[in-house]
Amino acid sequence: MTANPVWSVDPRTGKQRERVAAEATHRDVDRAVRAAHAARAALAGAATRAAFLRTAADLLDGSAARIVESADAETALGAARLTGELARTTGQLRVFADCVDEGAYLDVRIDRADPSLTPPRPELRRYKVPLGVVAVYAASNFPLAFSVPGGDTASALAAGCPVVVKAHPDHPATSELCAALLREAATANGLPADVVTVVHGFDAGLELIRHPLVTAAGFTGSIRGGRALFDAAAARPVPIPFHGELGSLNPVVVTPAAVAERAEEIGSGLAGSVTLGVGQFCVKPGLVLVPTGQDGDRLAAALAKSLAGTEPGVLLDHRMREAFLAGTRERAALPGVDAPVAPGPGGERSVGAGFLTVDATTLLEDGPHEVLLEECFGPVTVLVRYADQSEAAAVLGRLGGNLSATLQLSEDETRGAPGPAAELISLVTGLAGRIVVNGWPTGVAVAPAQHHGGPYPAATSHATSVGATAVERWLRPVAYQSVPDALLPAELREDNPLGLPRRVTGPGA
Amino acid sequence: MTANPVWSVDPRTGKQRERVAAEATHRDVDRAVRAAHAARAALAGAATRAAFLRTAADLLDGSAARIVESADAETALGAARLTGELARTTGQLRVFADCVDEGAYLDVRIDRADPSLTPPRPELRRYKVPLGVVAVYAASNFPLAFSVPGGDTASALAAGCPVVVKAHPDHPATSELCAALLREAATANGLPADVVTVVHGFDAGLELIRHPLVTAAGFTGSIRGGRALFDAAAARPVPIPFHGELGSLNPVVVTPAAVAERAEEIGSGLAGSVTLGVGQFCVKPGLVLVPTGQDGDRLAAALAKSLAGTEPGVLLDHRMREAFLAGTRERAALPGVDAPVAPGPGGERSVGAGFLTVDATTLLEDGPHEVLLEECFGPVTVLVRYADQSEAAAVLGRLGGNLSATLQLSEDETRGAPGPAAELISLVTGLAGRIVVNGWPTGVAVAPAQHHGGPYPAATSHATSVGATAVERWLRPVAYQSVPDALLPAELREDNPLGLPRRVTGPGA
């Protein structure tokens, strides 16, 4: 049996650039997972992990030119965007290093023994321990920030979990390059290189999720692929947590007062958000509720003008281009759907941005319009024109879970003037993980209060994949009852040698 | 179609006591879930929830005599144990009320806008919102603390989630009685009674986990039942988290130095832990690693003496009695297994406690001895005699996940003297959620640092079902980006009207 070759392909030309690797066989996956498993103990020291993450960030920054060149050649996302993405990625590695240093993620809790209670309470000391080998599934649309050196990898390593990354076929060369730098960072800090390995191939991804020594997984991608892996994770003899981000429509609601005030600004802002990264963001606004009437028409006109002036863009690969063309064609052909700027082919390899419009009443009919409530990857959005607040609410009531929901409000509404804003905030809180007011959902800040997740299918768990709390996914609590100080892990010892934040309760606390 | 009647049965006599209810039909379950869903908004106010939980505790305490009488008649657990269990249950309700008042469980995080960053960081404010209707599956062995008014219900209500409890068939009358008191507590605080409902019947349990409006589940019970529900939860069109506690062997390791020092004390202590509640605790020590040799023999003799002097006990129901008798018979018949005190029938309806012994070398052979590594519910434990530390480690290496692991150490070992203790702590940390030194695992304190969970099958998630952090299971984070103060939930407003603890980062923090 010869392993299938893995080629790096230039989406701008459709040409194979180089043969990067071979698809991992069953034995390759097993070897990678076992090597990662064997490297667990080496990751136990927090100081070493933090140093490793910082070295990794430095090495990636030091190779910025090569990385950006490689990623651009494989994804066509452009040097500017990829330079920013790399900065975000290395910033993220440093944030998790700080997080390891600070130690709050261990959620140390100490309950002193309390013999006065009925029954008497023994001493309990709790912290969190790493789960073990984590499988990471890289995303197509973020070759860095959600791929080999991305947030899943960074947070898992921060937690003390070795990582096996299933690379995305859209950027295998960049994946190998980044993996080599991460492995170099490991050995530079006295860690085995196998704390991070990369495997290629669809079958390898399935092997990985089924491997007995894999303890959890992080995934960013499609509903179809993500659900298949989620199902495999749940069907294991020992099920494991699967933290997947699968798809999101990212609804936007524009209130009548807002559109009266800022129709053109909202229209052009929307165009910018829809076409950012050629519409290949998981938080691209895919459904926009706009009031019927002249103000809404002005918004649509501004959107049309901006989109018509947008250069065609190259999608990540030819399958995505075909899916975009087929998906937009299917939607545009529905009765009652117009395409003021028709999304479609740009050049031979590119696509042109566009948008569709439909009335809320039409959308709310049962039948083929349901597809408008599904994510369509690429530079397209759907304006849903609504007559009143109850129609807007009815449309929101038909949506699944989302990563984000955005409200465009008037100045008075932001000050709490009576109107639909309060009800809208409450409605969208029920269906999204992040609520944005008078901004756009694209651009997910790496910050302690960030939440990048949401009800299914936005995410398969209630965890976030961006922000400091992402590390919580790879840990489990352990409580130590009446364990003498000499035998406690350093994190829980009475004299707190690591200086960790802790919550203490009970007598003398 | 007539619904099947649900009878309360006295396990001491096997007689039906009374017809309590009918098994819930498809329509009954749907009605209960929809009513609970409709009651969500009423639970939004933290102060009302806390008051409701305290009223519930008061009403349960006020009906203590009736509750204990009912529970004893249905479970044969005895008035003393059930009085303690009720106190634990009402204490738990009050702990969660305090938890609601304190508000740390909302994990409020505020990141101030930082325009100096690249890209500029918007303001983010994050807290947690309740998931929605929670399904709770009551346990056989704790008719109060892990049933209708138990920890899953209390923590879900604390989080703001209405609850539909699938009652356990071993105590339907007690379930109805407790549910009536919880519903009375709700209406006394101006809440709809339907914030808590009880349904009966196996099919109702499956209907419940599949209901589209159910958002999460808590379960305490067997591996078989729990895995079936876990699978159903994962197979839904919209999968939901299933927090199940399925089974645990709760290994104990006695070191050579400990057994030399305290053989008799450990033997009799073990007997007490194994027979507590007629061995029907999820944390019953089911496998005890004891050194070969004379000191270990003394431990076994002390255990034999204590167990032989234990009165036969009545198990929760006749199926459990049959399973206990069949399970212990199968294990005792294995080659190389002895039964110094044979577990078996007591009277016509009761069982006698006992223990089995086997050499580690025999246990480690592949084959039928594997069954000794499975939980056997009831008053029996297995002593595994080991020759050296590597044998003990090999046995531990064969175990699945556990709720607890216990070490019996010598006085010198607890002071950090060289020996196997440090390695043992590390080994058992890998396979359990709670580590106990020189105590017994039975008795799970309700405390902030508690963790009642562990690797699968001990638990199907990394959450705890006991202790303050149990509330985290029923919440999901939502981040608000640039949302004006007037539209923020009170929990996140700048002036902090609810006085919640919060972590603030960014300029001026």
Least CB-CB distance to A479: which of B235, B433, B503? B433
CA A185, A191, A193, A199 torsion-angle sign? negative
- Cα separation, A420 vs A428, whole angstroms: 12
| A433 three-class SS | strand
In this complex, is the C-beta atom of B507 within 8 Å of any C-beta atom belonging to chain A?
no
Residue A366 distance to chain B (closest CA, Å): 19
- CATH class entry, domain B24-246+462-475: alpha beta
Question: From B40, which residue of chain A is nearest by alpha-carbon distance?
Answer: A430
Question: From B407, which residue of chain A is nearest by alpha-carbon distance?
Answer: A483
Q: Report residue A430's pLDDT band, with 50, 70 and 90 as the boundaries.
A: very high
pLDDT at A118: 82
- Cα separation, B296 vs A114, whole angstroms: 33
Q: Residues A271-302: pLDDT tens digits?
A: 999 999 999 999 999 999 999 999 999 999 99
CA dihedral A97, A101, A102, A104 (to 10 degrees): 80
Catalytic residue among A74, A85, A176, A245: A245
Strands A214-220 and B133-137: unpaired
Cβ under 8 Å to A: B residues 417-436 = 421-422, 425, 429, 432-436
CB contact under 8 A, B447 and A111: yes
Residue A178 appears among annotated catalytic residues: no
Residue B67 distance to chain A (closest CA, Å): 20
Ordered by start, the domain boundaries in chain A are 21-106+130-246+462-475, 251-437
Q: What do you get for the CA distance between the two ends of chain B, in Å?
A: 65
Answer yes or no: is pLDDT of A31 > 80.
yes
Answer yes or no: is pLDDT of A122 > 80.
yes
- Cα separation, B291 vs B385, whole angstroms: 5
Catalytic residue among A282, A375, A391, A413: A282
At the second CATH level, the architecture of A21-106+130-246+462-475 is 3-Layer(aba) Sandwich (3.40)
Least CB-CB distance to A416: which of B84, B432, B486? B486
Least confident of A117-121, A343-347, B256-260: A117-121
CB contact under 8 A, A415 and B481: no
- Cα separation, B305 vs B275, whole angstroms: 13
pLDDT at B396: 98
Running DSSP on this structure, what letter comes out for residue B114? B
Question: How many of the other CB atoms lie within 10 Å of CB of A312?
Answer: 15
Least CB-CB distance to A484: which of B111, B414, B481? B414
Q: Residues A129-144: pLDDT tens digits?
A: 999 999 999 999 999 9
Cβ under 8 Å to A: B residues 487-506 = 487, 489, 503, 505-506
* Residue whose entry in the numeric block shows the structure tokens 């261990």: A106
Cβ under 8 Å to B: A residues 220-239 = 230-231, 234-235, 238-239
In this complex, is the C-beta atom of B460 within 8 Å of any C-beta atom belonging to chain A?
yes
Q: What do you get for the CA distance between the two ends of chain A, in Å?
A: 64
Catalytic residue among B85, B176, B207, B245: B245
Report chain B residues whose CB lies below 8 A from the CB of A413. Answer: 487
Count chain A–chain B contacts defined by CB atoms under 8 A. Answer: 208
Catalytic residue among B176, B282, B376, B413: B282
Q: What value does the mean pLDDT take over residues A459-487?
A: 95
pLDDT along chain B (509 residues), means of 10: 88 96 97 98 96 98 98 97 97 97 96 92 97 98 98 98 98 98 98 98 97 98 96 98 97 98 98 97 98 98 96 96 97 97 94 98 92 96 98 97 98 94 97 98 93 97 90 97 97 97 91
CATH superfamily to which B251-437 belongs: Aldehyde Dehydrogenase; Chain A, domain 2 (3.40.309.10)
Residue B210 distance to chain A (closest CA, Å): 15
Report chain B residues whose CB lies below 8 A from the CB of A84. Answer: 119
pLDDT at B2: 67
* Residue B82, C-beta contacts closer than 8 angstroms, at least 6 positions apart: B67, B68, B71, B72, B75, B143, B144
Residue B7 distance to chain A (closest CA, Å): 34
Cβ under 8 Å to B: A residues 281-310 = none
Least CB-CB distance to B111: which of A449, A455, A475? A449
Q: Residues A354-366: pLDDT tens digits?
A: 999 999 999 999 8
Report chain B residues whose CB lies below 8 A from the CB of A402. Answer: none
In this complex, is the C-beta atom of B447 within 8 Å of any C-beta atom belonging to chain A?
yes
Q: What is the CA radius of gyration of chain B?
A: 25
Least CB-CB distance to A124: which of B241, B449, B486? B449
Residue A248 distance to chain B (closest CA, Å): 14
In this complex, is the C-beta atom of A476 within 8 Å of any C-beta atom belonging to chain B?
yes
Least CB-CB distance to B484: which of A415, A477, A489? A415
Task: Say if residues A262 and A408 touch (Cβ distance below 8 Å).
Answer: yes
Q: Residues A374-395: pLDDT tens digits?
A: 999 999 999 999 999 999 999 9
- Cα separation, B68 vs B271, whole angstroms: 26
Q: What length is written for chain B?
A: 509
Q: Report residue A508's pLDDT band, with 50, 70 and 90 as the boundaries.
A: confident
Residue B386 distance to chain A (closest CA, Å): 23
Q: Residues B325-349: pLDDT tens digits?
A: 999 999 999 999 999 999 999 988 9
Answer yes or no: is pLDDT of A1 > 80.
no
pLDDT at B1: 53
CB contact under 8 A, A126 and B449: yes
Report chain B residues whose CB lies below 8 A from the CB of A486. Answer: 414-416
Question: From A417, which residue of chain B is nearest by alpha-carbon distance?
Answer: B486
* Residue whose entry in the numeric block shows the structure tokens 């995505």: A320
Q: What is the ipTM, given to two decimal places?
A: 0.96
Residue A272 distance to chain B (closest CA, Å): 16
Task: Say if residues B252 and B408 touch (Cβ distance below 8 Å).
Answer: yes
Residue B282 appears among annotated catalytic residues: yes
Asked whether the bond before A119 is cis by omega within 30 degrees of 0, the reply is yes
